[in-house]
Chain A
Amino acid sequence: MGPAQANRASWTLAAPALMLLLIGSIGPLLIVLVYSFLTPGDYSGVQRPFTTRAWEQVFLTRDIFDDTLSWADAHLTIFWRSVKLSVLTTVITFLLGLPTAWFIATRPRERRALWLFLITIPFWTNLLIRTIAINEIIRSEGLLNQVLGWVGAGPLNLLYTDTAVLIGMAYVYLPMMVLPMYAAIDRFDTRLLEAAYDLFANRWQALAHVVLPVIRPGILAGSILVFVPSLGAYVTPRVLGGGKNMMIGNFIELQFGQGQNWPLGAALAVLLLVAVGLALAIYVRVLGGTGRDDG
């Protein structure tokens, strides 16, 4: 079979899958882009003419009386909350995930599989179920407040706060951070540490100057795996944040539901997509700089 023939065979075999993805994923994204330039319909949906109104609405509000433009504070609050909570989630999962990944990677080979399996179970457990489980812990009569009651500390009203959303996201995305870091640490040559000790580095110096730079690709992969879904999170803020503590994902939903402003929702969706694309692009760029794309 010649190369041209082989090519045609490959494409023919891949075509059904590509068709499905075109209908079920890629194609609709293009429609979202078009919708972001339309006018809201009378009840729902959209109508013509094409405008940039929705995009303007993303950041600005027009006063209904004197037609002046001002910053859309409500939107900016939601954007800020999304970015803040996503960054914090990434930092927390890193701080907790690094020791965990290190711990697993330094277990005896036979027992490592068990520890990995223990990380993998929550990783695969339905995100909604894990969010409900966290709800069970932090709600007012939950386990946390019962324990606090026994030790005589006052009850915490965590549920439906930003902190609740943060706890929930750190909990559900932690395994995403641990697994790639584990893969990186697993390949780490511990003789480098011995060399560092020989050169009179203490443990923290060795960690900062030897371990972290070497496992950087794993850290970056873990961070992107946590940051990207955090930014688009929908279920966790909805269940733990209540109606008020929305993130971009919930705000997009609002526009397609009660808000009845599909073009604005579409523009927000495109914006989210661009933000995620940007994060991925930076990730690829930074990783390219390390010259270690050996996965």
Chain B
Amino acid sequence: MAERRFDPTRLPGFATVAVAVFVMLYLPIATLVAYSFNGGESVAVWGGFSLDWYGRAWANETVKAAALRSVVIAACASTLATVLATLAAVGVVRNRRMKGRAVVYMAINQPLMVPEIVTAVALLIFFASVRQATGYQGLGYLIAAHAAFCVPFAYLPISARLEGMDATLEAAAADLYATPRQAFRHVTLPLLTPGIIAGAMLAFVISLDDVVITEFVKSAGQDTLPTYMLAQMRRGVSPEVNAISTMLLLVTVALLTAFFIINRQTNRGKQRKRPQSLPSASRPWRCPRWPRGS
């Protein structure tokens, strides 16, 4: 046999399938965005480019209220989740011999492993009885629920950053007579900031996107943008839903791009073999995004 010439990295047909997959991934999203600019009344027929539907969505008081509610909930929940996740990460990551470390780890990642619909009905039951007992009807339930499932997403980049940080800097601070509190305030916290920002951003996106838990926990008149869209889908697609989707998409992409830039700077100089933002193959719960809103 003649010399076998080959490129071991090429498998026949793989590149073709891969490119087809990328096209298939983006085609529906592109179609949705394109149709949000459709000037025609009907969803089916292209009636020329127009920003009509954006204008209508913008003028719709229900949509505006839902958007504001989404942002308020996401801001409160992500702040709460980030603060608590930071405290927990500092406590857990720095103490490698901590007793019950695995328990804390499991508890923090628990929202990722339970199907969202199960958590949703569990919260429906729980908050229904709290509502009956206290009479409180506000956004507090939604904020608490969102904060809880945001904790693992906030925890992930913060603990990754902490693990990559040099603990000797804190030891040096202690040698220079800094109290633990001072060492944290002036050494650990500034170094941890990029991780905290990244964690807060992930938590914000996750909260903003949530459908299932919000749908079950909300009281009447507490729609967020995603639950409003879900309700609209009962009547099929409307160009207005496309316009709202496109705007939400834009917010997500903007936040993600910012996240990647921050994350890249965070990881720079750490000489890690794999980027932090990728899920490890053998531990799905370290994946940056377990399917929320399934």
List A residues at the B interface (Cβ < 8 Å).
3, 6-7, 9-14, 16-18, 20-21, 23-29, 31-32, 35, 45, 96-100, 102-104, 106, 115-130, 132-137, 139, 141, 143, 171-176, 179-184, 186-187, 190, 193-194, 197, 203, 206-207, 215, 217-218, 220-221, 224-225, 228-236, 238-239, 248-249, 252-253, 256, 262, 265-266, 269, 272-273, 276, 280, 287, 292-295
Complex Cα–Cα for A276 and B271 (A): 37
Contact yes or no, B283 A221, CB < 8 A: yes
Taking the closest CB of chain B, its distance from the CB of A92, in whole angstroms, is 11
**A117 cross-chain contacts in B, Cβ below 8 A:** 260
Complex Cα–Cα for A64 and B252 (A): 52
**B65 cross-chain contacts in A, Cβ below 8 A:** none
Contact partner of B253 (CB less than 8 A), chosen from A14, A121, A233, A262, is: A121
| Stretch among B52-60, B80-88, B186-194 lining the A interface | B80-88
Contact yes or no, B149 A272, CB < 8 A: no
Contact yes or no, A24 B85, CB < 8 A: no
Q: Which residue of B lies closest to A6 (CB)?
A: B95
**B216 cross-chain contacts in A, Cβ below 8 A:** 253, 256
Contact yes or no, A124 B248, CB < 8 A: no
What are the 4 closest A-B residue pairs judged by CB atoms, nearest first?
A24-B148, A232-B115, A13-B91, A295-B280
Contact partner of B110 (CB less than 8 A), chosen from A21, A122, A272, is: A21
Contact partner of B293 (CB less than 8 A), chosen from A6, A119, A127, is: A127
Taking the closest CB of chain A, its distance from the CB of B219, in whole angstroms, is 15
Contact partner of A126 (CB less than 8 A), chosen from B44, B144, B209, is: B209
Q: Which residue of A lies closest to B104 (CB)?
A: A14
Secondary structure call for the B interface: helix
**A6 cross-chain contacts in B, Cβ below 8 A:** 95, 97-98
Chain B residues bordering chain A, tally (CB within 8 A)? 108
**A123 cross-chain contacts in B, Cβ below 8 A:** 289
30 residue pairs bridging A and B, Cβ less than 8 Å apart: A10-B101, A13-B88, A17-B155, A20-B144, A21-B107, A23-B144, A25-B119, A25-B148, A26-B107, A28-B119, A97-B21, A99-B14, A99-B21, A122-B29, A128-B293, A129-B32, A136-B237, A136-B242, A176-B287, A190-B8, A193-B8, A207-B11, A215-B281, A225-B287, A225-B291, A232-B116, A253-B117, A272-B117, A295-B280, A295-B281
Taking the closest CB of chain A, its distance from the CB of B201, in whole angstroms, is 11
Question: Total A-B pairs in contact (CB under 8 Å)?
Answer: 336
Would you call B124 an interface residue if the criterion is a C-beta within 8 Å of the partner chain's C-beta atoms?
yes
Best-buried of A10, A129, A180 by chain B (most CB within 10 Å): A129
Taking the closest CB of chain B, its distance from the CB of A263, in whole angstroms, is 11
Complex Cα–Cα for A128 and B10 (A): 36
**A130 cross-chain contacts in B, Cβ below 8 A:** 28-29
Contact yes or no, B121 A17, CB < 8 A: no
Complex Cα–Cα for A100 and B287 (A): 19
Contact yes or no, B294 A232, CB < 8 A: yes
Complex Cα–Cα for A179 and B124 (A): 33
Complex Cα–Cα for A291 and B192 (A): 34
Fill in one digit per residue for B147-162: 1 if any A CB lies within 8 Å of its CB, else 0.
1110100010000000
